[in-house]
């Protein structure tokens, strides 16, 4: 499958996630949109690793392994990030009884 | 659907659906290890965590107040501008003959990825375990009642 199909699919997913981050005010939904953007990047990275593998398959049989391992590490970091971020959201809900990010403008004053 | 759902629970369920679609792409690209990891970690663990937090907060009624319509329109407009710029920049790029191989190639199998992971990537692997430990401790410290 040509690589630009994957590029445009990833761009679409990334832009949907970014529109969600910019328009929604619910902190959990903003967080889920960030996950969506991370997954768009992961998908594009896997597609590029397979493309690289096909291009270099005659000289190097393991070309493209690095890309898939990087995707694995991105997933690991995303899992750690989700655990800490959800703990922060729970603490924020406990303090201000809302998950609306509009209430979090106290840094302004 | 993730973005426009009023109810956060529906939003989580659509996100799980999206993750399954992305996992389907992984298996089309013959990246079986990443398929399994995506199903287990994302669609399993992370989404269950989101669902638990939403149910813990009792948010399933749509309590989101209507915000300024102009701000919402500005957000959509900014995302549309990004889409326009990226598509316009990448439309005429000369990679049409580059093909991502599907259904063939064995770099995505667990055997090859495991060999690379535990030979040349063993230091980042151990560092990521430390990162997990610190994230776990941090989540407990942040989440406990003071």
pLDDT digits (tens, 9 = 90+) for A32-49: 889 889 999 999 888 888
Give the distance from residue B105's alpha carbon to the nearest chain A alpha carbon, in angstroms: 8
What would the two tokens of residue A25 be?
Answer: 């005010």
Reduced to 3 states, what is the DSSP secondary structure of residue A26? strand
Pick among A15, A31, A51, A58 to test the B interface (most B CBs inside 10 A) = A15
Task: Output the pLDDT for position B79.
Answer: 85
Q: Across the A/B interface, how many CB contacts are shorter than 8 Å?
A: 214
For residue A98, give the CATH number of its domain. Answer: 1.10.287.3510
Residue A13 resides in a domain? yes
Which residues of B are less than 8 Å from A58 in CB distance? none
Closest CA to A31 of B116, B51, B28: B51
Number of domains in chain A: 1
Residue A75 resides in a domain? yes
Residue A109 resides in a domain? no
What would the two tokens of residue A19 be?
Answer: 């529109």
Least confident of B27-31, B99-103, B137-141: B99-103
CA distances (Å), origin A45, targets A69, B57, B143: 10, 35, 34
Distance of CA A109 to the CA centre of its chain: 32
- Return the residue of B nearest to A57 by Cα: B105
- What is the phi-psi region of residue A97: left when phi exceeds 0, alpha when psi lies from -120 to 50, beta otherwise? left
Check residues B34 and B69 and name the one with the higher pLDDT. B34
Range of the structural domain that residue A44 is part of:
3-103
- Return the residue of A nearest to B88 by Cα: A8
Give the distance from residue A86's alpha carbon to the nearest chain B alpha carbon, in angstroms: 7
Task: Output the pLDDT for position A41.
Answer: 92
């Amino acid at each position: 499958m040509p690589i630009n199909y994957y590029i445009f699919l990833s761009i679409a997913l990334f832009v949907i996630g970014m529109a969600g981050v910019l328009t929604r005010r619910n902190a959990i939904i903003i967080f889920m949109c960030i996950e969506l953007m991370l997954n768009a990047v992961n998908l594009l990275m896997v597609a590029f690793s397979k493309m690289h593998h096909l291009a270099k398959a005659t000289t190097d049989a393991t070309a493209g392994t690095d890309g898939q391992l990087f995707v694995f590490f991105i997933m690991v970091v995303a899992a750690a990030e989700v655990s800490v971020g959800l703990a922060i959201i729970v603490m924020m809900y406990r303090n201000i009884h809302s998950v609306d990010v509009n209430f979090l403008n106290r840094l302004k004053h | 659907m993730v973005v426009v759902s009023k109810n956060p629970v529906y939003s989580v369920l659509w996100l799980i659906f999206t993750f399954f679609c992305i996992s389907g792409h992984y298996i089309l690209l013959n990246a079986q290890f990443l398929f399994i990891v995506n199903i287990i970690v994302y669609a399993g663990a992370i989404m269950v965590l989101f669902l638990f937090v939403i149910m813990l907060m009792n948010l399933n009624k749509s309590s989101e107040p209507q915000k300024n319509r102009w701000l919402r329109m500005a957000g959509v407009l900014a995302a549309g501008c990004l889409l326009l710029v990226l598509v316009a920049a990448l439309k005429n790029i000369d990679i049409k003959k580059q093909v991502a191989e599907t259904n063939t190639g064995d770099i995505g199998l667990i055997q090859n990825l495991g060999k690379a992971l535990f030979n040349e990537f063993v230091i980042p692997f151990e560092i990521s375990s430390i990162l997990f430990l610190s994230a776990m401790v941090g989540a407990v410290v942040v989440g406990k009642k003071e």
